[in-house]
Chains A and B, each alone.
Chain A
Amino acid sequence: DGGITQSPKYLFRKEGQNVTLSCEQNLNHDAMYWYRQDPGQGLRLIYYSQIVNDFQKGDIAEGYSVSREKKESFPLTVTSAQKNPTAFYLCASSMGRHGEQYFGPGTRLTVT
């Protein structure tokens, strides 16, 4: 649990602003993921990365961007193009694609 961190815990932004969510892990995991969670729904995959300098779109990538310049870090930018950005964002990591995914504590983003 404690090896993957997200900051901040709560984030408030005005419409039209881009915002970047941080995700860091010290588990030496190769793969990292970003999910979005809305009330009453399961987790939906935004982006994932299996190796440094490489990432793929998930099911709901529109309006989001990511980078993977370091193995430990996988920041997510929520752009102004995301129509409904208010949600709970969870980052996860795993040793390989087929491994158990460990989740960070999440960032609750509110855009008004």
Chain B
Amino acid sequence: GENVEQHPSTLSVQEGDSAVIKCTYSDSASNYFPWYKQELGKRPQLIIDIRSNVGEKKDQRIAVTLNKTAKHFSLHITETQPEDSAVYFCAAFDYKLSFGAGTTVTVRA
């Protein structure tokens, strides 16, 4: 089955700086890669996703890149703000969603 690895497990950035989270996947058949943000005690919420026929997608301060050959994808958050502090999960879909272990992002004011 699909195995998704996510790095780093924790990330602390100064407000205004960029944050990058990287994920790798094992199943070349995976074709959909969402990113979820989860605040403490809350439900995960989709923030951006990318499908395998696209290399990059951007939505305001958030962007995702996908390298199908290397089987990795990354989340980029620019101009970080305190409200970006949360746990971020990547996932890959082959016949089901498989999640990474999560990255706890802390934005320091």
Task: Spell out A's residues near B (CB within 8 Å).
Answer: 1, 33, 40-45, 48, 58-59, 90, 97-98, 100-106
Cβ distance B82 to chain A, nearest Cβ, rounded Å: 22
Task: Spell out B's residues near A (CB within 8 Å).
Answer: 1, 4, 6, 9, 31-32, 34, 36, 42-46, 49, 89, 91, 93, 95-102
User: Given that A45-B96, A106-B43 are known contacts, is A100 also in contact with B89, CB under 8 Å in the complex?
Assistant: no
Q: Return the contact of A103 from the options B31, B43, B100 (Cβ within 8 A).
A: B43
Complex Cα distance, B49 from A23, in Å, reads 25
B interface SS class: strand
Q: Which residue on A lies nearest to B43, using beta carbons?
A: A103
* B98 partner residues in chain A, CB cutoff 8 A: 45
Cβ distance A35 to chain B, nearest Cβ, rounded Å: 8
Q: Is B43 touching A104 in the complex (CB atoms < 8 A)?
A: yes
Q: Is A100 touching B101 in the complex (CB atoms < 8 A)?
A: no
Q: Is A100 touching B46 in the complex (CB atoms < 8 A)?
A: yes
Q: Is B45 touching A103 in the complex (CB atoms < 8 A)?
A: yes
Q: Return the contact of A1 from the options B1, B9, B45, B49 (Cβ within 8 A).
A: B45
* B42 partner residues in chain A, CB cutoff 8 A: 105-106
Q: Is A45 touching B97 in the complex (CB atoms < 8 A)?
A: yes
Cβ distance A64 to chain B, nearest Cβ, rounded Å: 16
Q: Is A58 touching B96 in the complex (CB atoms < 8 A)?
A: yes
User: Given that A40-B101, A42-B101 are known contacts, is A100 also in contact with B43, CB under 8 Å in the complex?
Assistant: no
Q: Is B101 touching A41 in the complex (CB atoms < 8 A)?
A: yes
User: Given that A41-B101, A41-B102, A59-B1 are known contacts, is A105 also in contact with B43, CB under 8 Å in the complex?
Assistant: yes
Q: Which residue on B lies nearest to A102, using beta carbons?
A: B46
User: Given that A42-B89, A59-B1, A103-B44 are known contacts, is A97 also in contact with B101, CB under 8 Å in the complex?
Assistant: no
Cβ distance B104 to chain A, nearest Cβ, rounded Å: 9
Complex Cα distance, B44 from A101, in Å, reads 10
* A41 partner residues in chain B, CB cutoff 8 A: 101-102
Q: Is A100 touching B49 in the complex (CB atoms < 8 A)?
A: yes
Complex Cα distance, B44 from A97, in Å, reads 18
- 7 pairs of residues in contact across A and B, judged by CB atoms under 8 Å: A1-B45, A41-B102, A44-B99, A100-B34, A102-B46, A103-B36, A103-B45
